[in-house]
Amino acid sequence: MEDSRLRTVAATSAFVTGVYSSVRKLPHPGVVALAAAFNSSVTGASFFGCREFLVSPTLTRLAPWPQYVRRRQELGIESQPEDHNKSNVPVSLPDLRANQLLDSAISGASVVGVFHAISRRPGAIPAMMTAGAVCTLLQYGYNELNIVRLQYISRLREENRPAMAAPSSKARNNSESQQESLPLLESLLSFIGIKSMPEEEYLEKMKKTRESHLKRIVELEQKIQEEQGLKERNKP
């Protein structure tokens, strides 16, 4: 998933930069677009690597808020005594909107701070604050799109449940094509000494993530039904 996000960031950056260079009639727009794609790839790999391997695991183990309590339960991490009451709270739309906001803010600020320290540029603190705010806004937008996607999936399940099942042959072809190429993010992480997750552990994590998403979809359906019921009761 992170590799697809990284490719999306690089492609978007290259496209926007190329279009801007062409409109402004800058010299060598193709070279500028490739440079933008490379810079975005390095920045994206640093951001996602920092978030997924440093910030999120730390917050998952230490943070007391409900979303991190649910993560501890999904990953089978030993719960703290005060986690029991928070785990019984159903996932709401505000919870989905707040998902990984803190993770992204800390990761963005940390990466920019490291880059400023390496390059010895002045104004590190304002740059870190700006990066944290931008990453928070981008993560919030991604969460909103995810809510729309969950609502769309929920409607599809209600309208035509058999259509949700994908053909097994298509799934096999997708898995074979994914195994043929080494993900870009995995290559970058291997280059800096971070090994990839074993397939068995990755599959187990994906199963837990799938179960968590299905649970969230059911809770979201219940939330939507409750809101519709309240609207109908409040009608004059």
The model's pLDDT over 44-96, given as tens digits with 9 standing for 90+, comes to 899 999 999 999 999 998 888 888 888 888 887 766 666 655 556 677 888 88
Among the candidates 22, 44, 77, a domain finishes at 77
Residue 226 resides in a domain:
yes
**Cβ distance 128 to 117 under 8 Å?**
no
Answer with the one of 77, 103, 129 that is the final residue of a domain: 77
Q: Same domain for 5 and 71?
A: yes
Of the candidates 234, 221, 198, 184, the residue with the CA atom closest to the CA atom of residue 9: 184
Whether 3 and 64 map to the same domain: the answer is yes
Instruction: Note the pLDDT of residue 164.
Output: 47
Distance CA 115, CA 113 (A): 5
In a domain, 172, yes or no: no
Residue 189 placed within a domain: no
Instruction: Compute the average pLDDT of residues 109-121.
Output: 91
Averaged pLDDT for residues 168-181: 52
C-alpha of 87 from chain center:
22
Lowest mean pLDDT among 25-39, 62-76, 87-101, 222-236: 222-236
Over residues 128-155, the mean pLDDT reads 91
Q: What pLDDT is attached to residue 168?
A: 52
Structural domain for 28, as ranges = 1-77
Is the predicted pLDDT of residue 171 greater than 60, yes or no?
Answer: no
